[in-house]
Amino acid sequence: MTSSDATALRRHHRPALSPVLVAAARDALLRRNARISSATASSLQLSVYSHLRMIQLNQLQAQNAAVAAATAAAHNHQQQLQQPQEAERQRQCPRHEEVKQDQQQQQQGFKGRKTSRSVLVLTSSHNMSTTSISTTAAATTATAAATSISTASNPGVGSSFTPTSSCSPLDSSGESGEREETADAAPLAATATRRKRGRRRRERADESCINSCSGAAAIASATDAVVRVLRVEQEWLVEALALRVDVCLWLSDGRQVVVEVDGPSHYFANLLRTQRPKTALRNRQLSRVFGAENVKCVPYWEWEVTAGVEARTAYLSRLLGLRGPE
């Protein structure tokens, strides 16, 4: 058996480590990686974390204010649409009453006129019948007298006289038909008016719905235009690397960004702005897990030079790629 075979056999039969020992080693590694090297780095980390939390809270307040303003505008627009409707409804109520009263009066007037017309027709017919009877009697008497006279004067010659009299009753069918057409046209006009008002109300309701939808779409587009910070965690554990990062953020565009605050201990003392090998290795490992564009470093000299809350907030916004107001 050669030495290589013996080495392979020893590796194959190597006893597995106990879970307790593995857990203890992992905890020791995490404690070592989570330890902050200096007090300056610790204060830097807390300062960066507080400013990131400030950005998150400011964005949340701005979003709530925008939603409240859009809701108030939609409510005001709805009230503006309802006010003309109420005024028109109040104006239309007396008109409806007047139309109903006019219709009732017209119907009652038509009924009275029809009744009086019928009585007039009957009276005229009766008078005409009486006149016809009297005329016929007079004509008969005159005929008999003439016959007797002619017989007396000319006994051989006979003559006859037959007067005729005719009378036609009044024809009121045309006038009554016109009045019935007028009575039928009034309800049709009222129905057309109601349909027109209903169509206007539906159009206004559709317009209000469109405005509300457009307002909601404007809010959504304005919200999507700004990359918001959804969550901020300090000393976040990266299980794939068994180490903790200074700050981890979750953004609204789906990114998970790691922010490392590098104090003086992460750089060579005699080589300014040159990272130590351990810091460079940490950045490479984090880049493999999160991506190089999602690993951000905040050097201590840049943070110290940037003074003021607004300036530091703007610096972090540019570093994270946030757009729009913080």
DSSP string, 112-175: HHHHHHHHHHHHHHHHHHHHHHHHHHHHHHHHHHHHHHHHHH-TT----------------HHH
- Coil vs helix vs strand at 226: coil
Of the candidates 101, 67, 87, the one whose C-alpha atom is nearest the C-alpha of residue 216 is: 67
- What count of other Cβ atoms lies within 10 Å of the Cβ of residue 34? 13
The burial class, CB within 10 Å (0-12 / 13-18 / 19+), for 130 is exposed
pTM (predicted TM-score): 0.51
- pLDDT for 97 beyond 90: no
Phi and psi of 232, rounded to 5°? Answer: -135, 125
Residue matched to tokens 């037959």: 162
Instruction: Give mean pLDDT, residues 261-276.
Output: 88
- Per-residue pLDDT tens digits for 31-72: 665 554 444 457 889 999 999 999 999 999 988 998 888 888
Q: What is the pLDDT of residue 32?
A: 66
- pLDDT for 280 beyond 60: yes
Report the alpha-carbon distance of residue 207 to residue 196 in Å, rounded: 17
Domain ranges of the chain: 38-71+227-320
